[in-house]
Amino acid sequence: MPEWLQLASLTDVLGTTLRLSIPIAFAALGGVIAERSGVWNIGLEGMMLAGAFGAALGVFLTGEPLIGLLVGMLCGMLLALMLAVLAISLGVNQIVSGIAINLLSIGLTAFFARLIFGLDATTRSLAGFHDWPIPGLASIPLIGPVLFNQDPLVYLLYLLVPLLMWVLYRTPWGLDIRATGENPNAADTAGVPVFTVRYLAVIASGALAAIGGAYIVLAQVFVFTEHMSAGKGFIALAAIILGRWDPIGAVLAALLFGFCDAVQLRLQFANPAVPYQIFVALPYVVSILALVGFYGRVKPPAASGIPYRREAK
Amino acid sequence: MARAMELLFATRTVWAVVLALLVGSILILSAGANPIEAYRVLFGEAFFDRFGFGTTLVKMSPILLAGLAVAIPLRAGLFNVGAEGQIYLGALFSSVAALYLPEMNAILHLSICVLAGMTGGALWALIPALLKTYRGINEVIVTLLLNYVAIHLVSFAAGGPMMEEGAPYPYSAEIPSALFLPLILLPTDAHAGVLVGLVLALILHVGMHYTSFGFAMNTVGLNPQAAQYAGMPVKRQMILAMMIGGALAGLAGTFEVLGVKYRLFHNFSNGYGFDGIVVAFMASANPILVPIAALFLSGLKAGAQLMQRAIGIQSTVVDAIQGLVVMFVAASLALRFQDTVWARILARRREAEAAVQGERSNA
Amino acid sequence: MPHIEINHVTKSFGAFKALDDVSIAVEKSAIHAILGENGAGKSTLMNILYGLYQSDQGDIQVDGRPIRLQSPREAIANGIGMIHQHFMLVSSLTVTENIVLGLERGLHTIDLAAHEARLAQMSRDIGFDVDPKAPIWSLPMGMRQRVEILKALYRNARILILDEPTSVLAPGEIGSFLAGIRKLRDAGHTVLFITHKLEEVMQVADRVTVMRHGKVVHEVDAAETNTKTLARWMVGRDVVIELRKRETKGASAPGEIVLDARGLVAVDDRGVRALDELSLTVRAGEILGVTGVDGNGQRELGEVIAGTRDLDTGQILVGGRDIVALDVKRRINEAGIAFVPEDRQATGLVLDYPVSYNMALRSYDRPPVSRRGMLDFKAIREIAGRLTKRYDVRLRSIDQPARLLSGGNQQKLILAREIEAKPRLLVVMQACKGLDVGAIEFVQSTILDLKANGVAVLYIATELEHVLDVSDRVAVMFRGRITGLLDRADASTARIGELMAGIASGAAA
């Protein structure tokens, strides 16, 4: 039996998988909400980065991870608000808007990071969340340590998935979001405030993506580095498609990407002879292959990517 | 008055840039410096100092080519967010050609290197192009993801098979000096790459506006269905647009190797591919305007380093300003003249004229 | 007291006066038809009544109470419901979800079961047989319309505005629809029925208001008038008769077979089979009309011939040569096919291009438009100038964007460009949709001229009267097949209606 298939190793790989998928999962959940409302959020990457920056800022100033999380979410929501103004109110092409948000986020976070944290930002370790083993559950073999010996943000994700499923498929808000993403004209004539729905959905997606970014700082690396989101927001975009614009599907897709990343790390340590860069590129390659395999079998929300304007005949 | 507003509108990109610089001055203030002084140093060094201008030109070569690499696909309605990756592939292909081909005539060898670099970029762009045209997969996600694959691929090459023995970090051996691009503004590092970029911008301008090939490209970008009904080869034009873009980005990477670094370094590009997006938007995807936008942006970047040295403001402020430029330019592009009060005034006047004429011709 | 009173309403868009001092009184529990051509102002009036537009002058009273509506929400709150010509339904949601949409706010679980039960009850009460759990995409058009009406009733609408309600229905569905409208009236609802179809007005309306050019020209009780009078009021002259006379004069004997389509099979955008072993022929100097309820494969038929949609199996012979393997360009240049697409704005023109570029779209890589790959702008302008003059396209300049032209002028532009290529086969789709009477006359007479010159014409349209106006033979499509092929002389509306609904099958001529 290969070493890595033994129970302890397996627990280790699965635990790593979960941790590595968390940032992607949060961002992908945000993206699902925005896209179901009809706004394609390419800016997820920038919002994650803003979340990471805000988290570092909050912790840097107060030493409190929770405040870090909130500041991070606030930063993500601010960027999301800008995206909403561009893409929803001004009707700028949603791809252009998203790219603008990403570049703005990279520039602003790099500037303020050096300004506030100083040049030693990458070396100083910040306070973060600690693991909270859930009594009883955490001692179940294999899945216990994997699922229930984690930090609070992981548990937050566990709660968020059923919550979003309920909101999206069972409540008036969810109905409004789905209708707005499929046929904003119909939603508008039925009295749904299309613009408000899209604004709220985009801002919610910014908050969620920011939690994903904050997680990297508060539970993984405990420092802020320039452009530390490193394309995870783009992988989240692939996870949305792979997950068929559904919260559960998106999280499962994020887990798949996290698994690739975990295996990549494992192989890197197990086989130092094999060049590690090839493995680092693996999640991106898998994302593309997954898109090739799955795209077209499901349709995106019909109005996704199209700015809505009330028609004046 | 209405016509004056129309003119103001035509130049709205310029106003967006001015606005971005104004907001940027708030950032400079927050860093504890005088914005006027900062901008004076920045632009003075970048454009009116021989060495500074040389640095500007060094940066302009990849930014200009990357701008064209984004602009051409944009004309065919495709977002090439993958210029960064194509730059890396171009550098990889050209440095392989530079380092491992048998000795030959320098001009021939240089041509092969350039062709290899362009091919590398074009092939890398072919992947999203084929996925887009034949599988309907959004080219934005694919090009974004491929950037990371390309960067790691070059890291692997520069740190593995191509790595120079004893190098402290991943880079390749130096290319033969016969392949170095000629310098154009001695004693600075400015090389001929920027001149090639200017010529290409001119050629592409003619190609996009005065040829049937460019006409088909523009039509595909504006209305692919109409292009299809008119018998234009829509898929082929899209693939070609993307490959031309990839080749231009590949050329940018090639010139970084042949003109600046003389080696293949890992992580060498500093996001030039993303600067290309900024430039292409500022130029409204118009090839002849790309050099102007590229000159501005490279001046901003070159000046930033000198400004950091001169008055101690972090050069990252320029990254922030660059982000602001994209934001404001994007917003300004959305303000279509047709939607403004002034347009309504003009339209009403024209409608009245047309109505009067219509009555005359009906009578 | 009238249920709705519209008093001296005026509305302008720029210099264009869409409504000019319009006054109408609608009685309670009546079916009131608003009759008029496209552009007569009836939709504008209804959009004001529904809160989508605000009037410039005049007022509207409901139950003697003046109301000024700022949004559809306020209209709904005032008991006004509108059923748009294009249904406002979300196709991925169920009937109930669509009806409940917008009714509740906030974060709580929607009690869908309770809504479903109420809807089922309501649906039974008025004789609508709608399954509340069905997703919209699975329902035929007639059912979707019932969902729209239920949606209004579920919001307690007492006034129903129906905008061209029969245009999407098969002739067989129209009868039961009109019966349903009467039932609603008898139940105490007031119905405003916007249409340009005279027969329907006579069948169902209690009172009729005729509008033309933004003004009310007549208002009468339906019992006191007839279709002929209404037609004269509506159009202002006897157009249709003129056109038919002209057509018989220009008729010539059809020549050899130009288009011979055999066993065509193709799928639509969703991958569902849209053409099912369809065969047809068109001869030189003949117009074959193809009609049917929207979505029975007409669009796909046009597209496989034009070459913009792949054919799964089958042969398309043009002048004896199989063109299936040819791309669009070679079909244009070698087979001589010209094509007027269904959606002139989305596919016929590049709206952001100037008129002159649009005229060069199909010949962009051939002399005189381009030589050795370079565009000849002088030639492009010359061609555009000549054609816009000959086809009487009204414009300020050939440099103005095609976007700024009216629908009729845009259609003339496309026709001019297609005919200029001197085609052997012209495929025309929905040529007259949304055009005013003058433009329809021009388009149809242009097509008849082509026919007289020996061109084979495949004329695909939903509007039966337009098909009957020009065609020599009429083919009726149902579920991807031709269910009937009739000579014009034998083609009655009733017979075609049965074929369109798939009730009967016709002898292939």
Sort out which chain B residues have CB atoms less than 8 A from C329's CB and list them: 231-233
Stretch C127-155: mean pLDDT? 88
Residue of B19, B131, B147, B149 to mutate when probing chain A, most A C-beta within 10 A:
B149
* Separation CA A90–CA A72 (nearest Å): 26
Average pLDDT value for chain B: 88
The 10s digit of each residue's pLDDT in A198-251 is: 999 999 999 999 999 999 999 988 989 888 888 899 999 989 988 889 999 999
- Put simply, whether A191 touches C (Cβ < 8 Å) is yes
Residue of C nearest to A297 (CA): C270
Contacts of C93 in chain A (CB under 8 A): 175, 178-179, 182
Rounded to the nearest angstrom, the minimum Cα separation between C101 and chain A is: 6
Q: What are phi and psi of B342, to 5 degrees?
A: -65, -40
What are the structure tokens assigned to B168, written together? Answer: 């402290």
Question: Which amino acid is residue C395, in one-letter code?
Answer: L
Query: Would you state the pLDDT for residue A121?
Result: 56
Tokens of A198: 């899209």
Identify the bridge partners of residue C338 per DSSP, sorted by sequence position. Answer: C426
CA C252 to mean position of chain CA atoms: 30
Predicted pLDDT of residue A313: 35
Assess whether pLDDT exceeds 70 at residue A278: yes
Q: Which residues in chain B are contacts of A238 at CB distance < 8 A?
A: 141, 145
Residue from the list C44, C92, C109 with its beta carbon closest to the beta carbon of A171: C109
Q: Residue B225's closest chain C neighbor by CA?
A: C347
What is the enclosing helix (H) or strand (E) of C192? strand C190-195
> Looking at residue B126, what is its pLDDT?
97
Element holding B203 (H helix, E strand): helix B193-210
CA C452 to chain CA centroid, nearest Å: 27
Q: Which long-range contacts (CB under 8 A, 24 or more apart) does C166-170 make?
A: C166/C195, C166/C197, C166/C200, C167/C85, C167/C462, C168/C85, C168/C87, C168/C141, C168/C293, C168/C294, C169/C141, C169/C142, C169/C145, C169/C293, C170/C141, C170/C142, C170/C293, C170/C497, C170/C500, C170/C501
In angstroms, the CA A207 to CA A202 distance is 9
CB-based contacts of C190, cutoff 8 Å, min separation 6: C3, C4, C26, C27, C28, C29, C30, C32, C158, C159, C160
Average pLDDT over residues A252-274: 83
Give the three-class secondary structure for C457.
strand
Which among B212, B229, B231 has CB closest to C370? B212
Contact at CB, B233 and C394, closer than 8 angstroms? no
Q: What pTM was computed for the model?
A: 0.84
- For residue A40, which amino acid is it? W
pLDDT at B351 over 70: no
Three-class secondary structure assignment of B10-66 = HCHHHHHHHHHHHHHHHHHHHCCCCHHHHHHHHHHHHHHCHHHHHHHHHHHHHHHHH
Question: C272: distance to nearest CA of chain B, Å?
Answer: 18
Cβ–Cβ gap C362/B231 under 8 Å = yes
Specify the pLDDT at position C366: 85
Residue pLDDT, tens place only, C69-113: 888 788 888 899 988 877 889 988 999 999 999 888 888 999 999
Query: By CA distance, what is C307's nearest residue in B?
Result: B229
What CA–CA distance (Å, rounded) separates A268 from A272? 6
- CA geometry: angle C400, C406, C410, nearest 5 deg: 75
pLDDT at C507 over 70: no
Q: Is the pLDDT of residue C156 over 80?
A: yes
To which residue do tokens 């496209």 refer? C38
Cβ <8 Å between C328 and B231:
yes
Nearest CA in chain C to A177: C101
CB within 8 Å: C16 and B351: yes
> Considering only CB atoms, which chain C residues are within 8 Å of A191?
72-73, 76, 102-103
Chain B: residue whose CA lies nearest to A86 = B331
Tokens matching residue B227: 């292009």
Write out the DSSP string of C327-344. -HHHHHHTS-EEEE-S-I
pLDDT bucket at C239, cuts 50 / 70 / 90:
very low
Reported in sequence order, the residue ranges of C323-423 that DSSP labels E, i.e. its strands, are 337-340, 370-371, 374-375
The complex scores an ipTM of: 0.84
Q: To 5 degrees, how large is the angle CA B333–CA B337–CA B340? A: 115
State how far the Cα of C147 lies from the Cα of C139, in Å rounded to an integer: 10
Q: How far apart are CA A93 and CA B140, in angstroms?
A: 13
Residues of B in contact with C374 (CB under 8 A): 210-212
CB atoms B319 and A235 under 8 Å: no
Looking at residues B155-166, what average pLDDT do you find?
89
| A172 part of contact set with chain C, CB < 8 Å | yes
- Longest pairwise C-alpha distance within chain A: 71
- Of C15, C328, C374, which has the smallest distance from its Cβ to B229's Cβ? C328
Q: What are phi and psi of C255, to 5 degrees?
A: -100, -140
Number of other residues whose CB lies within 10 A of the CB of residue C317: 17
Pair of tokens at residue A64: 């409190």
Minimum Cα–Cα distance from C155: chain A residue:
A190
Q: Is C40 helix (H, G, I), strand (E, B) or coil?
A: coil
Residues in chain A: 313
Most confident of A49-63, B329-343, C27-41, C264-278: A49-63
Which tens digit of pLDDT belongs to each residue from B251-298?
A: 999 999 999 999 999 999 988 998 999 899 889 889 999 999 999 999
- Give the span between the Cα atoms of C241 and C238, in whole angstroms: 6
Which pair of structure tokens corresponds to residue C93?
A: 């949601």
Contact B113/B97 with Cβ under 8 angstroms? yes
Rounded to the nearest 10 degrees, how much is the dihedral formed by the CA atoms of B286, B290, B292, B298? 160
The rounded distance, in Å, linking the Cα atoms of C364 and C361 is 5
d(CA B125, CA B139): 10
pLDDT in tens, B17-38: 899 999 999 998 988 889 999 8
**Alpha carbons C148 and C205: distance in angstroms, whole number:** 20
| Residue A177, pLDDT score | 96
Output C122 or B352, whichever has higher pLDDT.
Answer: C122
Main-chain dihedrals φ then ψ at residue C149, nearest 5 degrees? -65, -45
- Other C-beta atoms closer than 10 Å to the C-beta of B271 total 19
Q: Which residues contact C365 (CB under 8 A, 6 or more apart)?
A: B212, B216, C373
Mean model confidence pLDDT for chain C: 85
Q: How far is C-alpha B72 from the geometric centre of its chain's CA atoms? A: 10
pLDDT for the residue numbered B183: 92
Secondary-structure percent of chain C, ordered helix, strand, coil, rounded to 5: 40, 25, 35
Among the ranges A167-176, B28-37, C16-25, which has the highest mean pLDDT value?
A167-176
User: What percentage of chain A carries pLDDT values higher than 70?
Assistant: 92
Most confident of B1-15, B22-36, B197-211, C118-132: B197-211
Q: How confident is the model at residue B358 (pLDDT cuts 50, 70, 90)?
A: very low
Residue ranges of C 377-436 with Cβ closer than 8 A to chain A = none
Cα B191 from Cα B61, distance rounded (Å): 8
Query: Does residue A294 belong to the interface with chain B, where contact is any CB pair within 8 Å?
Result: no
One-letter amino acid of C73 = R
In chain C, residues with a C-beta closer than 8 Å to the C-beta of A192 are 101-102
Burial profile A35-64: b = 16 or more Cβ within 10 angstroms, e = fewer:
bbbbbbbbbbbbbbbbbbbbbbbbbbeeee
C477 has which bridge partners? C482
Contact A52, A216 (CB under 8 A): yes
Which chains share 3+ C-beta pairs under 8 angstroms with B? Answer: A, C
- Indicate the range of A278-292, B178-192, B328-342, C34-48 predicted with least confidence: B328-342
- Tell which residue, C33, C45, C39, has the closest CA to residue C9: C45
Query: What residue in B sits closest to A105 (Cα-Cα)?
Result: B323
Interface test with C, best of A169, A175, A308 (most C CBs within 10 A): A175
A108-155 pLDDT tens trace: 998 898 888 876 656 577 888 888 887 877 777 777 777 777 888 999
In order, the DSSP letters of chain A are: --GGGSHHHHHHHHHHHHHHHHHHHHHHHHHHHHHHTT---TTHHHHHHHHHHHHHHHHHHH--HHHHHHHHHHHHHHHHHHHHIIIIIS---HHHHHHHHHHHHHHHHHHHHHHHH-GGGGTSPPP----EEPTTGGGSTTHHHHHHEE-HHHHHHHHHHHHHHHHHHHSHHHHHHHHHHH-HHHHHHTT--HHHHHHHHHHHHHHHHHHHHHHIIIIIISS--TTTTTTHHHHHHHHHHHTTT-HHHHHHHHHHHHHHHHHHHHHHHH-TTS-HHHHHTHHHHHHHHHHHHHTTSSPPPTTTT--------
For residues B158 and B266, is the Cβ–Cβ distance under 8 A? yes
Question: Chain A closest CA to C6's CA: distance in Å?
Answer: 21
Q: Give φ, ψ of C200 to 5 degrees.
A: -65, -40
Look at C166 and A158; give whichever has higher pLDDT.
A158
Interface test with C, best of B205, B217, B228 (most C CBs within 10 A): B228
pLDDT over 50 at C432, yes or no: yes
Spatial separation of the C-alpha atoms in residues B153 and A280, rounded to whole Å: 10
Q: Which C positions 128-157 lie with beta carbon below 8 A of chain A? A: 151
Contacts of C among chains (3+ CB pairs under 8 A): A, B
**Min CA distance, A104 vs chain C (Å)?**
31
pLDDT of C456-485, one tens digit each? Answer: 999 998 777 788 888 999 998 888 889 888
Q: How far apart are the first and last CA of chain C?
A: 58
